[in-house]
Amino acid sequence: MKAKLVFSTETLDMEQWAELPFIPRINEWINVPDILKEEEIKRIKTSSLCWSGIRGRIQTVEYRHNDSEYYAEIYIWCED
């Protein structure tokens, strides 16, 4: 499933497109290092108040449509 992932902290929202092999559900944990590169994780970690850099919790899942396809927009909270 094509997904727009929005990694969110108190001060930053970072977008990333990915193909997910599962259907995301609210309050599930996501292993962030499986999706992002190390420098992207560092960027999120420096913007957070307190985050381990390992996992984020899915806050919302919205299904959207652009000109040619459907995709999921997923907000992932990156604060412990």
Measure the CA–CA gap between 73 and 29, rounded to whole angstroms.
Answer: 16
Is the pLDDT confidence value at 1 over 90?
no
List the structure tokens of 58: 């899915």
Q: Is the dihedral of CA 46, 50, 56, 57 positive or negative?
A: negative
Q: How many domains does the chain have?
A: 1
Q: Residue 43: what pLDDT? A: 94
Is the pLDDT confidence value at 10 over 90?
yes
Mean pLDDT of 9-38: 94
Pairing state between β 55-65 and 70-77: antiparallel
| Cβ atoms of 72 and 61 closer than 8 Å | yes
Q: Residue 74: what pLDDT? A: 97
The model carries a pTM of 0.91
Q: Residue 80: what pLDDT? A: 87
Q: Give residue 72's domain range.
A: 2-77
